[in-house]
Chains A and B, each alone.
Chain A
Amino acid sequence: MQLKPRSPGNAPSLRRALAAAAAGLLAGGTGRAQEPPSDPPSTTIDSALLVYHEVNRVQAIEPELNLTYKVNEDSTLALGVAADSLTGATPLGAVPSTLPQTYVRPYKVVPLGTPVTVTSASGGSTVMIIPPATGAKTQTLGASTTVVPNTYPLDRGFYDRRVAGHLGWEQALTETLKLDGGVAYSKEHDYRSESAHVGLSKDIDAHNTTLSAAVNYESDLSSPLGGTPTPLTEMSAEWKGPDATLHEVDAVLGITQVMNRRWLTTLSYSYSDAHGYQTDPYKIISVVDPVTGQPMRQLYESRPESRRKQSAFFDNKIHLTADVISASLRAYKDDWGIKSLTADLRYRWQIGANYYIEPHVRYYTQGAADFFRYYLVSGSAVPAYASADTRLAKFHAQTYGMKFGVPFDATSELYARIEYYDQHGNGSPAGAIGQLQQQNLFPDLKAYTLLLGYTYAF
Chain B
Amino acid sequence: MRNIFERCSAKRRHEPRATRKSRRLTGVLGVLIAATGAAGGAGCTTFGAKPWEHDLLAEHAMQVASYPLETAIDEHIYFSKEASSGGRSFAGGGCGCN
Chain A residues at the B interface, C-beta cutoff of 8 Å: 46-48, 50, 52, 62, 64, 66, 175, 178, 199, 201, 203-212, 214, 250, 252-262, 264-268, 270, 272, 309, 311-317, 319, 324, 330, 332, 334, 336, 338, 340, 342, 348, 356, 364, 366, 369, 391-392, 397, 407, 410, 413, 415, 417, 421, 423, 445, 447, 449, 451, 453
Contact B69 A391, beta carbon cutoff 8 Å: no
Ranked 4 nearest A-B pairs via Cβ: A256-B92, A210-B92, A254-B89, A207-B96
**B26: A residues at CB distance < 8 A:** 204-205, 208-209, 257
User: Shortest Cβ distance from B73 into chain A, in angstroms?
Assistant: 5
User: Shortest Cβ distance from A63 into chain B, in angstroms?
Assistant: 11
Is B36 in contact with chain A by the CB < 8 A criterion? Answer: yes
**A206: B residues at CB distance < 8 A:** 19, 48, 51, 96
Contact A257 B30, beta carbon cutoff 8 Å: yes
**B32: A residues at CB distance < 8 A:** 267
**B61: A residues at CB distance < 8 A:** 317, 319, 324, 348, 356
Q: Which of B25, B69, B87 contacts A204 (CB 8 A)?
A: B25
Contact A210-B93, Cβ < 8 Å, known A261-B56, A369-B83, A449-B77:
yes
Q: Which residue of B lies closest to A204 (CB)?
A: B22
- Tell me what chain A mostly uses at the interface: helix, strand, loop, or mixed: strand
Give the complex CA separation of A220 and B30 in angstroms: 38
Q: Which residue of A lies closest to B21 (CB)?
A: A204
16 contacts between A and B (CB under 8 A): A46-B68, A48-B69, A48-B70, A64-B72, A64-B73, A66-B68, A208-B47, A208-B49, A254-B92, A256-B93, A258-B93, A264-B57, A311-B87, A312-B87, A445-B81, A451-B70
**A369: B residues at CB distance < 8 A:** 83
**B25: A residues at CB distance < 8 A:** 204
Give the complex CA separation of A268 and B53 in angstroms: 25
Q: Which of B56, B59, B64 contacts A315 (CB 8 A)?
A: B64
Contact B91 A254, beta carbon cutoff 8 Å: yes
Q: Which residue of A lies closest to B20 (CB)?
A: A205
Contact B41 A259, beta carbon cutoff 8 Å: yes
Q: Which residue of A lies closest to B72 (CB)?
A: A64
Give the complex CA separation of A260 and B61 in angstroms: 16
Give the complex CA separation of A397 and B78 in angstroms: 10
How many positions in chain B have a CB within 8 Å of any CB in the partner chain? 52
Q: Which residue of A lies closest to B22 (CB)?
A: A204
Interface residues of B in 34-56 (CB under 8 A from A): 36, 38, 40-41, 47-49, 51, 53-56
Q: Which residue of A lies closest to B37 (CB)?
A: A314
Contact A260-B47, Cβ < 8 Å, known A201-B92, A314-B36:
yes
Q: Which of A62, A261, A364 contacts B53 (CB 8 A)?
A: A261
Contact B84 A311, beta carbon cutoff 8 Å: yes
Give the complex CA separation of A73 and B98 in angstroms: 10
**A313: B residues at CB distance < 8 A:** 87-89
Give the complex CA separation of A24 and B51 in angstroms: 28
**A324: B residues at CB distance < 8 A:** 59, 61-62
User: Shortest Cβ distance from B88 into chain A, in angstroms?
Assistant: 6
**A259: B residues at CB distance < 8 A:** 33, 38, 40-41, 47-48
Contact B91 A256, beta carbon cutoff 8 Å: yes
**A421: B residues at CB distance < 8 A:** 77, 81
Give the complex CA separation of A7 and B94 in angstroms: 37
Q: Which residue of A lies closest to B36 (CB)?
A: A314
Contact A366-B69, Cβ < 8 Å, known A207-B96, A261-B56:
no
User: Shortest Cβ distance from A272 into chain B, in angstroms?
Assistant: 6
User: Shortest Cβ distance from B33 into chain A, in angstroms?
Assistant: 6
Q: Which of B33, B41, B69, B88 contacts A46 (CB 8 A)?
A: B69
User: Shortest Cβ distance from A280 into chain B, in angstroms?
Assistant: 11
Contact A266 B82, beta carbon cutoff 8 Å: no
* Supplied contacts A319-B56, A356-B61, A410-B60, 7 more A-B pairs, CB within 8 Å: A199-B91, A205-B19, A209-B29, A255-B29, A257-B30, A272-B86, A324-B61
Q: Which residue of B lies closest to A366 (CB)?
A: B83
Give the complex CA separation of A250 and B61 in angstroms: 28
Contact B60 A332, beta carbon cutoff 8 Å: no
User: Shortest Cβ distance from B80 into chain A, in angstroms?
Assistant: 8
Contact B49 A340, beta carbon cutoff 8 Å: no
**B98: A residues at CB distance < 8 A:** 175
Is B23 in contact with chain A by the CB < 8 A criterion? Answer: yes
User: Shortest Cβ distance from B5 into chain A, in angstroms?
Assistant: 16
Is B3 in contact with chain A by the CB < 8 A criterion? Answer: no
> Which of A48, A206, A211 is packed against the most chain B CB atoms within 10 Å?
A206
Contact A201 B68, beta carbon cutoff 8 Å: no
Contact B86 A270, beta carbon cutoff 8 Å: yes
User: Shortest Cβ distance from A144 into chain B, in angstroms?
Assistant: 27
Give the complex CA separation of A336 and B73 in angstroms: 26
Contact A340-B83, Cβ < 8 Å, known A265-B33, A313-B88, A410-B60:
yes
**B85: A residues at CB distance < 8 A:** 309
Q: Which residue of B lies closest to A339 (CB)?
A: B84
**A264: B residues at CB distance < 8 A:** 57, 62, 64, 92-93
User: Shortest Cβ distance from A375 into chain B, in angstroms?
Assistant: 19
